[in-house]
Structure 1
């Protein structure tokens, strides 16, 4: 079962700020991750940010799961994402 990706406005803004090479990499990985997101995800300790994260190199994607939807909350470099 494939999940559906839904992006918050903040996530869209984050993605638009990324380098084009990183943007392409993130897009490819998200397409792969949506087939079975919990296989690739780590649960976050602090639920204020979101429920889970994906790691793509030095970038992190913070997201929540709601039914069959993956709600992408933030996309940023690991040095910035948790601030």
Structure 2
């Protein structure tokens, strides 16, 4: 069963600032994450429990709710700013 994607208000705001050519790639990535959310890289230390999915120089940061089959996208943006 595929997971449902929920995008936080913060992530929606950040997605609006991404250039169109990268935005399309990120949208395609949501489908991959929906099918297999564990495809992303598990994060460590203060970001433990979160995952990062790479789209060129951009990252999608999310958490997985296995019980309810939901992926909650917390942030999406350039790699230099999403881990802060």
1:55 match: 54
Distance in 2, Cα, partners of 1:75 & 1:46: 19
* Aligned-partner SS, 1:76: strand
What are the superposed Cα offsets for residues 3-57 of structure 1, whole Å, 9 maximum, x if unpaired? 000000000001011111111110011112210111x211111344861111111
Higher helix share: 2
Distance in 1, Cα, partners of 2:13 & 2:49: 17
Alignment of 1:17-56 (within 5 A): 17-38=17-38, 40-48=39-47, 51-56=50-55
- Where does the alignment leave 5 or more consecutive residues of structure 2 unmatched? none
Q: How many residues align?
A: 82
Change (3 A) 1:18 1:35: same
**Which has the larger displacement, 1-10 or 50-59?**
50-59
- Where does the alignment leave 5 or more consecutive residues of structure 1 unmatched? none
Distance in 2, Cα, partners of 1:49 & 1:6: 20
Conserved? CA contact 2:42–2:48, under 8 Å: no
TM-score by length of 2: 0.88
